[in-house]
Structure 1
Amino acid sequence: MKGGVLKRNLAIFDFCETLVSKQTADDFVYFYLSSNNKVFKKIVFKSLKSKFISILSRLNIYKPSKSTYLMLLKGEKREDLNAVGRIYAEELIREYLCQNLFNVLKSHSDNGDEIVILSGGYDLYLKYCWPNLIDNIICTKISFSDDLCDGSIQGLDCLGYNKITLLNKVICNDLSIYKETYFYTDHVSDLPLLSIVSNPVVVNTNRSNLWAKERGFKIVEQK
């Protein structure tokens, strides 16, 4: 919390396909490889995203994990990743911003609410997104050793139930200390947190939101 002062309300925002209209973790890896002309690693990345691998994934034979793509950054310098992270953040805001959700975030900020981004995206670029508006960023962090990327995740991947664990660790383990709590997300994997905030809000994307309608959650348009 800014200045350690408890605010009246807590507004939590997912990032990918909520504040921006794309998934960003794997995309950042490719963006970095392209920015630094890592030709061989780009070929590996594209092969992992190929239709053949997609078929294997649907058949539950082989599905590349988030960590599989992250390994392509192993050995890269922290300073280089941070520099590209800033550029990537600028592109996301310029090209993929979900204006409707950003307006909601700005409204919460203007109201004096505590604003948190809670995301499976990486800290390397999320920290450059609206630092003047965001009180806290809780996200998946990339591991480094001697300022070189390990190609692995540091601690918990900020997805599903892990979001609650990390939220409890960083913010508080009792949401009742806030007058109102809001959580904005697009995905059913966030159901654990949606189920415990006082104002669960689901963003309408191209996926089915029947699960949200069945539970009576408020649904808002992405853009």
Structure 2
Amino acid sequence: MSLAIFDLDNTLIADDSDFLWGQFLVDRGIVDKDHYEQANKKFYEDYKQGTLDIVEFLHFSLAPLARHDAEQLYRWRDEFIDSLIKPIMLEAARELIDRHSQAGDTLLVITATNRFVTEPIVKLYGIDNLLATTPEFKDGRYTGKFEGTPCFQQGKVELLRDWLAESAETLAGSCFYSDSHNDLPLLNLVDRPVAVDPDAKLRQAAELANWPIISLR
């Protein structure tokens, strides 16, 4: 038994849920199309280049949550999951998760995308443990702010270390599956890093380090 850690976007699903949620808001007319769509694309390009200012992005991406009551947000989220997420869930990802589960491994998803968006996706894969950026929720509403450390780059390592300190798990025999060079801090921490349909920077790093490179597409 060991710890099996998975990135979510472009790893267990065939696109980026954070970006897709932003486009969903645009398409439904929930946010201003011209401003929001342009900014959403810019932040996504910054992410892919490794230059994303995560705090600036979170102020942008969490702001719409503060403008609507929680029940309406949950209805929109259900529609988002059904229309945009379920079609990009990967059968090979399910099989990989099942193999680790049958081996008795502890399953954990760790993702930069906020918990509001990702929690129902992770549940669809039958995984109970999730580390993600947490939107602040007070008096029955989202505030547009976030709690604690953003779950991004080195922040993933910090949050994982905190989680390990509170659990009975260790990194002995651990593996981490990711597509992104933004996850190199955590990939370098685990015993068995695996590049999944990697971006160019991660592929280069994986080849230099002789890490396994797999595809779930």
Same fold (TM over 0.5): yes
SS in 1 for 2:100: helix
Question: C-alpha separation between the residues in 2 aligned to 1:85 and 1:167?
Answer: 27
Shift in CA distance, 49/198, structure 1 to aligned 2, threshold 3 Å: closer
The reply to whether residue 29 of structure 1 matches residue 39 of structure 2 is no
Identify which of 49, 65, 68 aligns with 1:73: 65
Matched with 2:37 is: 46
Q: Give yes or no for contact 1:159–1:189 (8 Å, CA) kept in 2.
A: yes
How far apart are 1:92 and its partner, in Å?
Answer: 4.7
Question: C-alpha separation between the residues in 2 aligned to 1:201 and 1:193?
Answer: 11
Q: Give yes or no for contact 1:32–1:81 (8 Å, CA) kept in 2.
A: no
Q: Give yes or no for contact 2:132–2:151 (8 Å, CA) kept in 1.
A: yes
Output the TM-score relative to the length of structure 2: 0.80
Structure 1 unaligned residues grouped into runs of 5+ = 1-7
Q: How does 1:94-173 map to 2 (within 5 A)?
A: 94-131=86-123, 133-172=126-165
- Give 1 or 2 for the bigger CA radius of gyration: 1
Matched with 1:84 is: 76
> CA deviation digits over 1:135-175, x for unaligned, max 9?
30110121223222222222221111111111122233899
Structure 2 unaligned residues grouped into runs of 5+ = none
Identify which of 181, 185, 200 aligns with 1:192: 185
How far apart are 1:179 and its partner, in Å?
Answer: 4.8
Output the TM-score relative to the length of structure 1: 0.78
Q: Give yes or no for contact 1:18–1:222 (8 Å, CA) kept in 2.
A: yes
Question: C-alpha separation between the residues in 1 aligned to 2:82 and 2:25?
Answer: 14
Question: C-alpha separation between the residues in 2 aligned to 1:71 and 1:130?
Answer: 23
How far apart are 1:83 and its partner, in Å?
Answer: 2.9
Shift in CA distance, 41/146, structure 1 to aligned 2, threshold 3 Å: farther
Percent identity, aligned pairs only? 22
Shift in CA distance, 206/91, structure 1 to aligned 2, threshold 3 Å: farther
